[in-house]
Amino acid sequence: MRERVLCWFKASAGLLFSWDGLRFCMHHRFRSVLGVILVATSGLAAPPQHDPAAARPLTDTQVQKPLSDALTGPARVAYESGRLLLEANDSATAHAKFKEAYDLSRSPRLLWNMAACSKLQRHYAMAVSELEHFLSDGAGQLTLDQESRARELLETLRVVVAPVTVRVLPEQSLLFVDGESRSTTDGAFQFLADVGRHEFRAELMGHTPAARSLDLNDTKAVVVELAPAPIVPDSMLNIATLAGAAVEVDGKAFSVGTREAVVAPGPHRVRVWARDYKPWSTDVILAVGEHKAITAALEPDDKPNWWVIGTGSVLALAGIGVGAYYLFKPESPAAPAPIVLQPTPGVGGTITLP
């Protein structure tokens, strides 16, 4: 079993570069990987640019050089490192090395190796993207069998990924998907995503970032919309008045004395009152980000309003009045003496009138 797994690793990444490798796999009846092996064993130098529409697959008589012969310099070193890493079952680092070799050489056959590494890591969406580039970049440089097998694998992988469209507004917002920056076209970004949890975030200077987490449980098409909200500058209101005066804004206690506080843009009702002064009120309107200062000039009240206390509370005069009543209440008059009627002769008893 171990030998079979090793063969699959090598074959799926296009690493079998000798006839000994071919015989090894055929001995274990892994004939289905032959088309994969041909991608790496029949090499080709760094490819010239072709028009995909006019490109045709290579014929059987056209020979491809092995990648180990076609690549040169740092690209070849990176490719050889990727082979060794994949043989050691380190598909993640092997993928990075194959990508390095691809960036240096632009050889499309390295995309197949990258797709094989992505598939081993279960990064199916990435494998689909790499296979699509393998077919487009390698048009006219691959055999008919290689193209056929790549398309067959593509159809298999597409059923386990979900098409996702992300729209951002404003369109110039920066988009991040799973922590990586993505470029948008007309405010939209389309990609294939693996099933699982994904993080989306849009940022724009002067706006509050918009973020969303999404759990993909199936492969249905999904649309994600992100709209960073403009940051509204704080509006400040400063009210200068007597120390100890009670200040109320929109029916809520504001502050005492000269104070500055953040308020929402728009209209506000301000009331100020203090003991021995007439109540004062005004209406103010603050624009977005405006800082406004007002002065509440209280006028003395000829009739002191003893009912006002520093915080605007009302003194319970009723209680005082009740107490005064009992304090100065005159003494109750003595009960009147009972009226006693002298009994009429011949009639007994005494009657006391109230």
pLDDT tens, residue by residue, 298-330: 999 877 555 444 444 443 333 434 343 433 344
pLDDT at residue 143 in the model: 83
Residue 187 zone, left/alpha/beta (φ > 0; ψ -120 to 50; rest):
left
CB atoms within 10 A of CB 316: 10
Higher-pLDDT residue of 288 and 343 is 288
**For 79-131, how does the pLDDT look when each residue is reduced to its tens digit (9 = 90+)?**
999 999 999 999 999 999 999 999 999 999 999 999 999 999 999 999 999 99
- Residue 50, pLDDT > 70, answer no
Rg (CA), the chain: 45
The CATH number of 235-328, from 3.40.50.300, 2.60.40.1120, 3.30.460.10, 1.25.40.10, is: 2.60.40.1120
CA 58 from chain centre, in angstroms, equals 48
Question: 24 to each of 90, 121, 175, how far by Cα in Å?
Answer: 22, 25, 48
- Give the CA angle between residues 290, 291, 296 to the nearest 5°: 130
Q: Is the pLDDT of residue 74 over 80?
A: yes
- List Cβ neighbours of 319 (8 Å cut-off, separation of 6 or more): none
Q: Which residues lie closer than 8 Å to 312 by C-beta, 6 or more apart?
A: 246, 248, 253, 273
Q: What average pLDDT does the chain have?
A: 76
Nearest to 310 by CA among 269, 277, 268: 277
Please name the residue that has the structure tokens 């029949």: 42
- Tell whether the model's pLDDT for residue 135 goes beyond 50: yes
Per-residue model confidence (pLDDT) at position 252? 87
- Whether pLDDT at 196 is above 70: yes
How far apart (Å, rounded) are the C-alpha atoms in residues 158 and 175?
24
- Domain residue spans of the chain: 2-158, 161-230, 235-328
| Helix ranges, the chain (H) | 2-12, 19-27, 34-41, 67-70, 73-87, 91-105, 109-120, 124-137, 144-158, 317-328
When pLDDT is averaged across residues 2-12 and rounded to a whole number, the result is 42
Rounded to the nearest 10 degrees, the angle between the axes of helix 109-120 and helix 91-105 is 160
Tokens of 279: 């109540």
What average pLDDT score do residues 128-137 get? Answer: 94
- Residue 273 backbone dihedrals phi, psi, to 5 degrees: -150, 155
pLDDT tier for residue 334 given thresholds of 50, 70 and 90: low
Q: What is the pLDDT, as a whole number, of residue 289?
A: 86
Burial of 130 (C-beta count, 10 Å sphere; 0-12/13-18/19+): buried
pLDDT tens digits, one per residue of 154-190: 999 988 999 999 999 999 999 999 999 999 999 999 9
- In the CATH hierarchy, which fold is given to the domain comprising 161-230? Immunoglobulin-like (2.60.40)
What's the rounded Cα separation, in Å, for the pair 37 and 212?
A: 43
Neighbours of 134 (CB within 10 A): 25
- Domain 161-230 and domain 235-328, same fold? Reply is yes
Read off the tokens for 240.
């200068």
The predicted pLDDT at position 331 comes to: 52
Residue 152 CA: distances (Å) to CA of 40, 234, 287? 18, 59, 63
